[in-house]
Structure 1
Amino acid sequence: MLAVETGWGESKAVWSRFVGGLKKRGLSGVQLFVSDNHPGIKAALREHYSGVPWQRCQYHFRQNALDQVPKKREDQMLQALEHMWRKENSYRKATLEELVDELADPLPDVAVWLSEQAPQTLTVFQVAPKAHRRRMRTTNAVERLHQELKRRSKPVRIFPNPDSCLRLFGAMLKEQHEDWITSQRYLKIHQPAMAK
C-alpha cells in the first residue's frame, strides 16, 4: 500500500494531487501503471510519470466492449478478446486485426473503436514478466479492496470529516498491507526487472 487520501471526485486535479504526492515522496522506478480508462487518472499519470507504460484494465475494457455491440454479438466479442489476451506475443495484434476485419462490415463503428482502444490492453504483455501478467492485466485487486472498504464503511453512513474517513480506511488498509507483505502476497517479485 503506497498511500491513502480523500478526494472530492475523480478529476484530473484530484488524481494529480494524489499521483504527484507519490512522486514527491520518492516513488520512482515505476515500470507499469494499470488503471481503468478514466481521463483524470490517465492525465495525472502522463503529467507526473510521462514515458511509463500504461495498461488499460482488461476487465473494464471487456465491459466497455460489451456496451459497444448488440446483445447477439456479446459472446463473439468476449471469446475474441479472451482469445487475443491468451495468444502468444507475435499473434496478439494479428488476432485483434482479425476481429476488427470481422466486425468492419456489420459494425464499422465497433471495428474502429476496437482498433483504436484494444491495443491499450496489450501493454502488460510487452512490459511484465510472464509470471506476473495474469495479475497485472486488471485492477481486480484494487477493485476488490474498494468493495471491502465500501462494505465496512456502510454502517458509518456519513463521516463527520475527512480525517475520520482516513482513520477508518487507514486502519483497514494497514491491515490489508500487512497481509499482502506477509502471508497473502499478490505478486511474488523474484525478478529484478520487468522484461518481455
Structure 2
Amino acid sequence: MGLSLRDLQEALYEILGAVLSVNAINRITLKAQKQMFQSRQTRLEETPPILIVDGVWASVQCSSEDFWEDQAGHIRKLRHAEDRVILVAMAVWPDGTQTVLHYEMAPQESEAAWLLFFAHLWQRGLQPYSVKLIVSDGTTGLPKVIRALFPLAQHQRCITHKVRAMLRHLGYEQLPHLDAQGQELSHSEAKKLRYSQIKHDAYAIYKAPDWEEAIVMLLVFAQKWTDLEPDAVRTFIKDFALTLSFYDFDESLHSLIRTSNALERLFREFRTKADEIGAFPNEESCLAIFFLVSRRDHAKHDRLKNHGE
C-alpha cells in the first residue's frame, strides 16, 4: 500500500513483536498478485445493465536497450519511468450495487486500447446486448467504440466533466460590480461570483424531474448566459443530449449513473498510494496495488451501506 519493505517490516514489528523477513513479505505480495490475476480472469456469470468506464494514469519502470554498471561492477539494464493508464469498468446493478468488473493496463486511452479492453471482457463472458448504458467522460475514441460494440447501449456523458469543461471556457467579461447585498466587489471576488453562479445554474439543470424539463432549463440557461459567456455556453450545449441519458433509467439510480464519480473516488485513493510509491517497478505491481485499493474501497462501501441499513 505504498510502503517500502523496510517501512513494512517496522510497521509489522509494532504489531507482531518480531521482524518479518523479506521472503515472508514477498510471499504475501505474490499471494495478493495471484488473487489479482484470478479476479481479472474469473468468468462473468451475469452482465450488468450499466457500466461506468474511465482510466487512471500511473508511472511504471520500463527496461530499455541500454545498460549501466553499478558500484559492485554488475552490468544492469537501464530502466526509465513511463506513464501508463489503467482502464477500468465498474458495474452498476439494478439494486444500486457497484463493483469493479475489469481493469487492465494500456499505453494510452485510445480507440484501439478500448477495443482490446472490451474484447477481454467479452472473453470473460460479458454479453454486449445486455448492456443498456455506458457512463464515461469525454475520452477520445470511446464513443465510437461504444457505438460499434454495444448496439443497444446508450452513452451517458459524465455531467461533472461536462460542467468542468464549460468552466474552463469562462471569459469573465462584463463582470458585476456589486453583490446581491449591494456591496462592491473586487475583480477577483467578481470572478468567483461569476464562476459559482454559472456552475450552480448548470448543475440545477440536471435536477429537473425529467428530460423535457431539463431541455427547457437549458434554454433558460443559454438565454441568461450566452451574451456574458458565449464560449462557455457553446461548450456546454455541444452534445448536451448525451448528458441526459440517465433519465431513461430508474430514478433511484440517477445519482449513481449521471457521473463517473464512483470511479473518480476510487482513482483518488489509488493516486494517493501511487504518489507515495513514485514509479512502480513493473505493471504487475501497479495492478496489484489497484486491486488492493479497489478491494478496500468496496469493503468500506459495504460497511457504510450495512451500517446505514
Number of residue pairs matched? Answer: 184
Q: Percent identity?
A: 26
Q: Deviations over 1:139-196 (max 9, x none)?
A: 111011011111123332222221222222223323434555x4345xxxxxxxxxxx
Q: Are 1:96 and 2:218 matched, yes or no?
A: yes
Q: Are 1:136 and 2:257 matched, yes or no?
A: yes
What is the correspondence of 1:1-196 to structure 2 with a 5 Å cutoff?
1-28=100-127, 29-71=130-172, 72=191, 73-89=194-210, 90-125=212-247, 127-180=248-301, 182-184=302-304
Q: Deviations over 1:32-55 (max 9, x none)?
A: 111111113323322321341111
SS at match of 2:199: helix
Greater relative CO (CA pairs within 8 A, separation 6+) = 1
Aligned residues of 2:114 and 2:145 also touching (Cα < 8 A): yes
Unaligned runs of 5+ in 2: 1-99, 173-190
In structure 2, give the amino acid aligned to 1:152: K
Change (3 A) 1:67 1:154: closer
Q: CA RMSD in A?
A: 2.4
Equivalent-residue separation in structure 2 for 1:176 and 1:17 (angstroms):
26
SS at match of 1:3: strand
Alignment TM-score, normalising by the size of structure 2: 0.54
In structure 1, give the amino acid aligned to 2:150: Y
**Range moving further from structure 2, 12-21 or 73-82:** 73-82
SS at match of 2:303: coil
Mark the structure with the bigger radius of gyration: 2
Aligned residues of 1:66 and 1:74 also touching (Cα < 8 A): yes
Equivalent-residue separation in structure 1 for 2:101 and 2:204 (angstroms):
34
